[in-house]
Amino acid sequence: MSWVVLLLVALPFASAALSLFVGHRGEVAERGIAVGASAIGLGLAFVVAFPHLGDATPLGHVFARTSAAGPAIELSVYVDQLTAAMLLLAHTVAFLVQVYSLGYMAGDPRYPSYAALISIFTGAMTLVVVADDLWVLLVGWELMGMCSYFLISHHWELREARAGAVKAFLMTRTADLGLLFAIIVLGVRFDTYRISTIMGEIADGGFGRDELWLPALLVTAAVIGKSAQFPLHTWLPDAMPGPTPISALIHAATMVAAGVFLVARTFPLYLSAPAALTTLALVASLTMIISATYALFTNDLKRVLAWSTVSQLAYMFGALAVGAYAAGVLHLLAHGAFKALLFLAAGSVVHAVGTTSMSAMGGLREKLPDTFVTMTVGFGALAGVVPLVGFFTKDAVIGSVWDAARHGHLVWPWVAWVLFASTVLTAVLTVAYSLRAWLMVFLTAAPPLAAEPAVSEAAEPHEAPLSMKVPLYLLTVPTLLGGLVVVYPQAVFGDGEYHLVHPGLAVVMTLLVVATALAVAWQWRRSGGRDPWHPFVLPHPAVDRVYAVGVVRPVRWLARTVRAGDRDVIDRYADGAGAATRGLGWVLRQAQTGNVQTYLMVVVVGACAIAVAAGVAS
Amino acid sequence: MSWVQVIFVLLALVAVGSALLVVTTRNMVHAALWLVVTLGAIAGVYLVLAAEFLAWVQVLIYVGAVVVLLLFALMLTKAPTGPQPDLDVARTVPAAVVAVLVGALLVATVVAGFSDVALDLEGTVVGSAQSTGATVFEKWVLPFEVLSVLLLAALIGAIVLSRGDEMVESAETTETARRGGR
Amino acid sequence: MGDSLPLWWPLVLACVLFAIGVYGVLVRRNAVLVLMGVELMLNAVNINLVAFDAYFRDVVHGGQTLALFVIVIAAAEIGLALAIVLRVFRTHGHIEVDALRELADRDEPPADAGADRLDDRAEADQPQEAR
């Protein structure tokens, strides 16, 4: 079985290499490689994952190890229930995105590199979730960041794409320093880099409360960057100029969720350091409200979904912060499904209409029926409508926070109450922005055609091709049926006590959802069937201004100074040496007058001088 | 003072005087003529120093050929006859200083080295044609042959250098003449 | 007394003539006059050679023979030199040596380079072009 895991990791990289070599030869070959390898990877993921769900014993295997000074670095894997679930999520979404891209990226000349990068990303994600060595995990982590950078800037001729890619890369990379230092600290403390060993030792006890606060906080810093939480939350919406399938895969379902995965993977470390849990809880509370507010007022469909992702990630962190492991992970899986669905459906809308601006959309219910149905399911799950999966997992999260607030002992009660208030408020805001987006995209009357009908770009929006529709429908299946897993979590996590269903709270939340929906719908009607509230231009997130003044400007100033120093100081010496030589040459050249008699005179005088000198010397 | 010495002094004065006139006169043709006088005086000096053949060769070649060649050159370069005001460079003093310096240096060296030596002209072998010819063709044959090659090279070189446009012009003129001046 | 001449008399004569020749070369503007100065110098050298030949009573008559050779070489040299002078006269129209400054080493060519050249006589080295 362990060789299957190795194959599972290696296959995407091999297919990427093959794509890069063969891809430009033929479109059919390239598509075949991309989708075929992805399908095989999905099959292998099933083979690896299903035997390790539920009560199965985790699989651990070491393939190779280095022998160097200090703890050995090993190429080792560890497949437990968490890994299995993440594998299923990652490979399924990756495969569906590859299929979807056949239609979405048809005719794109950069398709081979695009498909290859998706494969590399899939391999990196697999590496992260199966890794049992901290350094191997870091390698996969950074590879994911690299793929994200390249894929956001897929349309690198657009300035926003380049800017967004650089911003994402810089922010996540800076935060990854936290992970690097955490690895070093853990390695020094435990004399090994193996995750399962370290977590086992911590879980066995013997560590004082907050004794491991430093590595826990460092990991928290890393996940704040990777999963776009405050104060590093601004890169995710700016990554939207990338192709929509990429937004679905990387910035909704898998890469940003890797932060949540890491917290879950190192959960014993967190449980032993409540300081980190408190930090996580407070950050999550703040983030979920800020991002939901931004989603409420933005006009760009993809940005709504991006801010929504940030908000839902905060939900997952909130659940983990109060110790609700199962709730957090299940919400991760559910979010992966319905957010991927939403993004892919948004891609279908964008593909049809040609713009992401919601004020230019409308009346698409008749024109894009399949997209309408699937996107409705997605928005419903996001808003928490019964009986979609989002309802169940959100309820599980809010319920666990409620329990922790009332009688939890991991974090201080006031922190849990703050978190609870945030989750409830965010749930309301989520309903509001989901409904607003749904109304503006589909049910609003179509905007008047500003351009001439003869122009082909202003042709009637048409439904997506089959390669785009099938993934949409396939993703509605877990969205509709996922609630069963929440009700019966032993299928995924094995035997244990789970408090995931809170009937009373569920009823209250549903009532809140309905009330909010009615309010928004009424407001929508009142404003004439267009934007429910006045177009309101939100200021740019304040943190970006802080970064611009505090980081970007000093760095640019430093760069300018260095360049001026090089040019004015160092180059001056070089140029001065050249100029001095030229000047010296000019001085010496004055003797070359071209007048032969002058030369002769000099020669004669010189000969006389030599004669005199010889005579005097002898 | 013996007769030899007197004659020598007279010849020397003539040579130096006419040499000075060669380099200072304002008339180019006069300079060539004063050069003739100088070379003739030097031929006399050779006679005093018992180099007969050399004296005659000096007159034949230097006075006869070289000076004539110089006069031809003056003619071909359209040298203006009559006194010219600008025959010397603008600043003559540095040149004079250098010349005086060279002269002083050489004279000092010579006088310091040979002030107490005397030539005995009685017992010298006179450099007659017979003795010179014997010496050249017995002891100095190789340099003699090399010298003839040198002369040949100089001859060819002079022809090549001075040919140039003249041949071209003459070819063109004959060409136009053949076509009847069109 | 007998026929004895202090050696330094002919030698001093040679030195003075040589110095006058140097002056002639350095001070005259016309190339032919410069060549006259060169001839003076060559003759001075010849006097030197002959004087020493008389002093040493050389069996192989080295001095006189070498003086003979010097005369030959001087004749060859003046033939070539005058050919060059004529060449210069053809291209420039004059033979003033202090106006021929094209070999001066300057950043830009000397301001009067080519100013002393004749206009209708191009490079006389390429007879083919003229044809």
Helix or strand or coil: residue C57? Answer: coil
**How far, CA to CA in Å, does A116 sit from each of A63, A262, A300?**
26, 25, 29
The whole-angstrom separation of Cα C61 and Cα C52 is 10
Tens of pLDDT along C37-78? 999 999 999 999 999 999 888 778 889 999 999 999 999 999
- List CB contacts (< 8 A) between A612 and chain B: 105
Crossing angle for the helix pair A466-481 and A389-407, nearest 10 degrees? Answer: 40
Q: Which helix (H) or strand (E) holds C5?
A: strand C4-6
> CA A70, A73, A79, A84 torsion: positive or negative?
positive
Indicate the SS3 state at residue A110. Answer: coil
Residue C131 has pLDDT above 60, yes or no: no
Phi/psi for A513 (5° steps) reads -60, -50
* Tens digits of residue pLDDT in B110-134: 999 898 888 877 767 788 888 899 9
- Closest-CA distance, C57 to chain B, in angstroms, reads 6
The phi and psi torsions of C28 (rounded to 5 degrees) equal -90, 145
Quote the CA–CA distance of C104 and C98 in Å, as a whole number: 12
pLDDT value of position A457: 47
Q: Which amino acid is at A411?
A: V
Q: Measure in Å the smallest separation between the Cα of C65 and chain B Cα atoms.
A: 7
Note the helical H segments in A322-412.
325-353, 364-367, 369-383, 389-407
C31 and B29 Cβ atoms separated by less than 8 Å: no
Q: Which chains touch B (3 or more CB pairs under 8 A)?
A: A, C
pLDDT given at position A451: 47
Residue A460's pLDDT is 63
Beta-carbon neighbour count of residue A387 at 10 Å? 12
Tokens of residue A179, six digits: 């992970």
Angstroms from B129 CA to nearest CA on chain C: 11
In 3D, which of A3, A11, A4 has the Cα closest to residue A33? Answer: A11
Distance between CA atoms of C111 and C114, rounded to whole angstroms? 9
Using CA atoms, how far apart are residues A62 and A193, in angstroms rounded to an integer? 12
The token duo for B82 is 């009559």
User: Is the CB of residue A438 less than 8 Å from the CB of residue A339?
Assistant: no
pLDDT of residue B174: 67
Residue A59 CB-density burial (10 A; 0-12 exposed, 13-18 middle, 19+ buried) = buried
**Contact at CB, A601 and B94, closer than 8 angstroms:** yes
Provide the phi-psi class of A592: left if phi over 0, else alpha when psi is between -120 and 50, else beta.
beta
Q: Domain locations in chain B?
A: 1-87
Q: Which residue of C has its CA nearest to B47?
A: C50
Two tokens, residue A121 = 């990303």
- Per-residue pLDDT of C77-92, as tens digits, reads 999 999 999 999 998 9
Question: CB of B72 within 8 A of CB of B31?
Answer: no
User: Which DSSP helix (H) or strand (E) runs through C6?
Assistant: strand C4-6
Give Cα separations from B88 to A252, A393, B23 (angstroms): 98, 114, 9
Residue of A nearest to B96 (CA): A601
Q: What are the DSSP calls for A219-253, one per residue?
A: HHHHHHHHTT-TTS-SHHHHTTTS-HHHHHIIIII
**What pLDDT, on a 0 to 100 scale, did the predictor assign at position B177?**
67
Q: What's the pLDDT at A453?
A: 46
Please give the backbone phi and psi of residue B120, each rounded to the nearest 5 degrees, phi first: -105, 105
Provide the pLDDT confidence category of residue C130 given band limits of 50, 70 and 90. Answer: very low
What is the distance between the alpha carbons of residues B20 and B38, in angstroms, rounded to a whole number? 9
CA distance A342 to A379: 7
**Tokens (6 digits) for A199:** 């977590």
- Distance, in Å, from the CA atom of A244 to the CA atom of A103, rounded to the nearest integer, reads 12
The CA distance from A612 to the nearest CA of chain B, in Å, is 8
The SS3 assignment for A61 reads strand
What is the per-residue pLDDT for A567?
A: 87
Token pair of A85 as six digits: 């679930």
- Which pLDDT score, from 0 to 100, does residue A458 have? 46
* Residue spans of chain A under pLDDT 50: 451-458
* Per-residue pLDDT tens digits for B78-97: 888 889 888 888 888 999 99
pLDDT of res. A53:
86
Predicted local confidence at residue C3, as pLDDT: 67
> Hey, what CATH topology would domain B1-87 get?
Four Helix Bundle (Hemerythrin (Met), subunit A) (1.20.120)
Q: Residue C26 and residue A601: Cβ atoms within 8 Å?
A: yes
Nearest CA in chain A to B112: A615
Angle between helices A413-438 and A369-383 (to 10 degrees): 160
Q: At what angle do helices A389-407 and A369-383 cross, to 10 degrees?
A: 10
Would you give the DSSP letter of residue A388? S
Taking the CA atoms of residue A224, residue A227, residue A232 and residue A233 in that order, the dihedral angle to the nearest 10 degrees is -140
The domains found in chain C, sorted by start residue, are 12-117 (1.10.287.3510)
DSSP string of chain B, one letter each residue: --HHHHHHHHHHHHHHHHHHHHHH-S-HHHHHHHHHHHHHHHHHHHHHTT-HHHHHHIIIIIIIIIHHHHHHHHHHTTPPPS--TTSB-S--HHHHHHHHHHHHHHHHHHHHHHTT-EEE-SSSPP--HHHHHHHHHHHSHHHHHHHHHHHHHHHHHHHHHHHHHHHHHHHHHHHHHHTT--
Tell me how far apart the alpha carbons of residues B129 and B135 are, in angstroms, rounded to a whole number. 10
* A315 Cβ contact partners less than 8 Å away, ≥ 6 residues apart: A284, A288, A331, A394, A397, A423, A426
Half-sphere exposure of A337 (CA within 13 A, CB side): 26
Q: List all residues 6 or more positions away from A473 whose beta carbon is below 8 Å from its beta carbon.
A: A370, A374
Quick one: which H or E segment has residue A93? helix A81-104
Q: Note the pLDDT tens digit of each residue in A339-359.
A: 999 999 999 998 888 888 887
Chain C: residues touching A (Cβ < 8 Å): 22, 25-27, 97-98, 100-107, 110
Is pLDDT at C5 greater than 70 in this prediction?
Answer: yes
Query: Quick check: B98 and A597 CB within 8 A?
Result: no
A-chain residues near C100 (CB < 8 A)? 594, 596
Q: Residue B89: which of A597, A608, A612 has the nearest Cβ? A: A597
The per-residue pLDDT for range A399-425, each reduced to its tens digit, is 999 988 888 788 888 899 999 999 999
pLDDT, mean over chain B: 88
Q: Subunits touching A (CB < 8 Å, at least 3 pairs)?
A: B, C
Question: For B14-28, how does the pLDDT look when each residue is reduced to its tens digit (9 = 90+)?
Answer: 999 999 999 999 999
Facing residue for C98 by CB, picked from A586, A592, A595 = A595
Please compute the mean of the pLDDT values over residues B105-111 and round it to a whole number.
Answer: 94
Contacts of C26 in chain A (CB under 8 A): 597, 600-601, 604
Specify the pLDDT at position A476: 86
- How many beta-carbon pairs under 8 angstroms link A with B? 16
Quick check: A604 and B98 CB within 8 A?
Answer: yes
